[in-house]
Structure 1
Amino acid sequence: MAGDVLEGEDPEQADMMDEMCILVDEGDMPIGSASKLDCHRGAGLRHRAFSVLIFDEQNRLLLQKRASDKITFPGVWANSCCSHPLDIEGERETDDASGVRNAAVRKMEQELGIPIGTISQESLQFVTRMEYEARMNEVWVEHEIDHVLVTRANVEVNPNPNEIDECRWVTQNELEDMVKAHNAGELVIAPWFDLIRINLLKDWWNDIDDMSKHVDGVIHRFIKERPDRAGLSMMERHRVAAEQCIARAIEKSTEPRLAGAMMHLIEGGGKRLRAVLPSLVGEAVGHHHAGHHDLGAAIEIIHNFTLVHDDIMDNDPIRRGRPAVHIAYDMPTAINAGDAMLALAFEMIAESKDIRGDMMRDLVRVIGRMVRNVSEGQQMDMDFENREDMVSEEEYLQMISGKTAAMFETCALTGAMLSGASNEIQQACRMWGLETGLCFQLMDDIIDITGDTETLGKPAGSDVLEGKRTLMAIHALKQDPADLPAFHAIFGKGESGKDLLPKAIEEMNSVGSIEYGRNRAMEHHSAAHIHLRNLEVSEARTILENLTDWQLERMS
């Protein structure tokens, strides 16, 4: 069974979550594979799917009510058959949609009890594709490029009770009655079938025997925009404003070499999450002002200060695809630049014309505590490397709560504070930031292992070579050493072990260490979404929700 997230689920349905789906890009080109579990949880992974519409001689459409034991979207009314082609021989093929047709024939037998050969692959008319997203709850989501297949067949169905609670043949009018019942809350229509019904089916119903005029060769996009698209103007506006604040602050330095060292990482790019989060929270809470830009800029400068010193302590030569500050300049200058950046951040807040004076004490207290927590987390991280005894999972979570999550927590809390939010909303924002930060660091640890140097902008797999006690390493160290010989041979051995690194990562994957880390990231992701429910629905809250999802799909 794949992962703790499936505890309590129907065993047969849980076992099928190990099936490997086909990952696709925006153009529906295969780019790899992933388990059904990973495709449908958290932010989801875009994968290939199909929806079959079976009509009988009376022009009635076969619908199914998904079984209550289904893990995703149980008990909803959907089209005749809907599932996924798998990453197996015969279902990977893309020519003339033969792969999805073969998969449809397989699933019609498994779900509907229609014997193979009763509805041939050739009789399934491939009409169009659509990309859509639909979230069921904080854990489960659909993100598919769905191939829509249409056929006419007089068949008797023998539904698999593990898949289907009920089948029903409906006319157009009867389907409209079901829609009214759906709108009244008396039943639920599956989101993908509802998209087909609204956008496609109404023009098809009378052309079932020859759908050629409806074959369009396009991918219809019915998808909620991602954070890199949705609300882009809002995020870009806040990013630009915060970066202008940063540039003005660093320009105060009368020492050009020091100013250059302070700007080195900032000029290298970065996501600027910490710079924009206070503003996004301010927007979501309902009262944003220019002080949020000063605040975000200050925290972003502090973040970059910690990176400068972190690279020195870890002896990392690369950051954001360019030489680290201590490499581009020298060690003393890098240390001095970091110190100056910390001082500069507090100076910015104190001099802001848009932050009320009566808030200064609380802001300085919260941000000062953040810096201390980050430093304590960093010290724990360094001490872990020299520990001979086992580092516990609880200690690791305490460490990343300080080293990484404290900044997200502080961005969210102070953003709400500046907006004059109630204590309840401030705490909801703070907890969202904390849970998002924990998810962020867990995914960072996974990406360090599964990414590549060019994508990461730093050496891939460096955590294993340096002996970092990540959650995955802690899990691996608890397993039988006989199952991880390469991992134990190179863990903490530095560059001398890089030749065995691919084998070590393969071993960590085989004993479930990477999956364990991903599952824990999922838990914090779900908790973050729950805290956001305390905020009023708005464009800014939607962006925060999308950013929460993005933690699980980012690769840099």
Structure 2
Amino acid sequence: MRAELLARIESLLPTGGDLPELQRYAAMLRDYPQRGGKGLRSELLLGTARAYGVAEGSPEWERALWLAAALELFQNWVLIHDDIEDDSEERRGRPALHRLHGVPLAINAGDALHVYMWMAVRRSGVDQALDEFMAMVLKTAEGQHLDLAWVETREWNLTPEDYLRMVRLKTAYYTVIYPLRLGALAAGREPSAEFEAAGLALGTAFQIRDDVLNLIGDPAKYGKEIGGDLLEGKRTLIVLHWLAGASAQQRTVFLERMNRARTEKNAGQLEELLTWLRESGSVRAAQEFADLEAQRGLAALAQALAGAPNQHATEALLQTMKVLATRDA
């Protein structure tokens, strides 16, 4: 479906006309969408619609495709802004947009894609979709605020529950819960109340797996810089678990280095911190917690979809979610 969704996205975007600078602007809007990505959120939305009996080529399928395109636009404008906020170097194996064009132009491109997201939502014709997208954006912004605020205020006096609350807001709602809900709405069905519990668990597992891959993943598959979370000073379940058992000396060294600006972090010293984390039991503990969350979420999702008319599509959806929550790339 990625080619079809990209075609829908590009059908909304300007071509730039005969002005070279507006042609550059049009190319910037297409940059992140054309880089690809796994498309997991849109796949989840479409899979949910299939599970509820929506057939390809039907009016309901058309609604689902426009909502899936809107989700992809959401993902891309959020990533442009997120890369700026985190001062990231790479996205999907290439320099982040603001590294290529500067921060002001990248912000502007993200703002524009935000508006094109709403255009795609409107094209879907699903009345409830506007409220769903507004709620999704606001939940994600709350989680992003927590994540950024802890870095800005140098707050390390945090518990694993603080981390879990942040990732549920920042990741779980837009990665799992709202794609499930939107897929059901495209099919003309009322979203299951059980989607939230399932999505919170599965979204948490997804984010923890991402945190693990940031430390030990294959750079060629991961698409982002390994160790980037440490450069950005991210508070992850791995780090919080490690800090709770670290020696006083290691803790002091770690926090002193983490509280430096990104540009002041030494590559050799960062590698030492990575070694401490990798050689501790904290990565394994995070993986085990993610596995439990994945199992719990999959069981809840299976229960929520037990009565869906297309059980073949339901099984495919559950398999997609299993890959999402236990991924190794």
TM-score between the two structures when normalised by the length of structure 2: 0.86
The Cα offsets for residues 195-226 of structure 1, whole Å up to 9 and x where unpaired, read as: xxxxxxxxxxxxxxxxxxxxxxxxxxxxxxxx
The question of whether the paired residues in 2 share the 8 Å contact of 1:487 and 1:504 is answered with yes
Where in structure 2 are the equivalents of 1:275-286 lying within 5 Å?
Answer: 275-286=42-53
Counterpart check, 1:239 vs 2:8: no
The verdict on how the C-alpha distance between 1:461 and 1:492 changes in structure 2, with shifts beyond 3 A counting, is farther
Q: Which residue of 2 aligns with 1:466?
A: 232
User: CA-to-partner distance for each residue in 1:111-161, whole Å, 9 max, x for gaps?
Assistant: xxxxxxxxxxxxxxxxxxxxxxxxxxxxxxxxxxxxxxxxxxxxxxxxxxx
More strand by share: 1
1:421 matched residue in structure 2: 189
The answer to whether the 8 A contact 1:472-1:517 is kept is yes
| Structure 1 partner of 2:243 | 477
Q: How far apart, CA to CA, are the structure 2 residues paired with 1:430 and 1:509?
A: 33
- The alpha carbon displacement at 1:322 in A equals 1.0
- Counting only pairs closer than 5 Å after superposition, residues 262-281 of structure 1 correspond to structure 2 as 262-281=29-48
> Is 1:403 matched with 2:175?
no
Aligned to 1:446: 212
TM-aligned CA distance change 1:324 to 1:341, over 3 Å: same
- TM-score, normalised with respect to structure 1: 0.53
AA aligned to 2:184 is A
Match of 1:316 among 69, 82, 88: 88
Q: Is the 8 A contact 1:294 1:349 kept in 2?
A: yes
Inter-partner Cα distance in structure 1 for 2:225 and 2:167 = 20
Name the structure 2 match of 1:162: none
**Contact 1:276/1:293 (CA < 8 Å) preserved in 2?**
no
Distance 1:246 1:256 in 2: 17
- Answer whether contact 2:150 2:156 (CA < 8 A) is retained: no
Post-superposition offset of 1:369: 1.0
Aligned ranges 1:2-41 → 2 under 5 Å: none
One of 267, 285, 296 as aligned partner of 1:516: 285
> Over aligned residue pairs, what C-alpha RMSD do you find?
2.3
Question: What is the CA–CA distance in structure 2 between the aligned matches of 1:397 and 1:405, rounded to whole Å?
Answer: 10
Aligned to 2:102: 330
Q: Greater Rg, structure 1 or structure 2?
A: 1
Q: Distance in 1 between matches of 2:35 and 2:281?
A: 35
Q: Which residue of 2 aligns with 1:506?
A: 275
How far the C-alpha of 1:553 sits from its partner, in A, is: 4.6
SS at match of 2:245: coil
AA of the residue aligned to 2:318: E
Q: Which has the higher helix share?
A: 2
Distance 2:147 2:155 in 1: 14
- Corresponding residue for 1:540? 313
Share of identical aligned residues, percent?
29
The equivalent residue for 1:549 is 322
Measured in 2, the distance between the counterparts of 1:240 and 1:479 equals 48
1:259 and 2:32 are equivalent in the alignment? no
Amino acid at match of 2:295: S
Segments of structure 2 that go 5 or more residues without pairing to the other structure are: 56-60
> Which residue of structure 1 aligns with residue 74 of structure 2?
302
- Stretches of structure 1 that go unaligned for 5 or more consecutive residues are 1-237
CA contact (8 A) 2:73 2:114 kept: yes
- How far the C-alpha of 1:452 sits from its partner, in A, is 4.2
RCO comparison, higher one (Cα < 8 Å, 6+): 2
Secondary structure at 2:266's aligned position in 1? helix
Q: CA deviation at 1:422?
A: 4.0
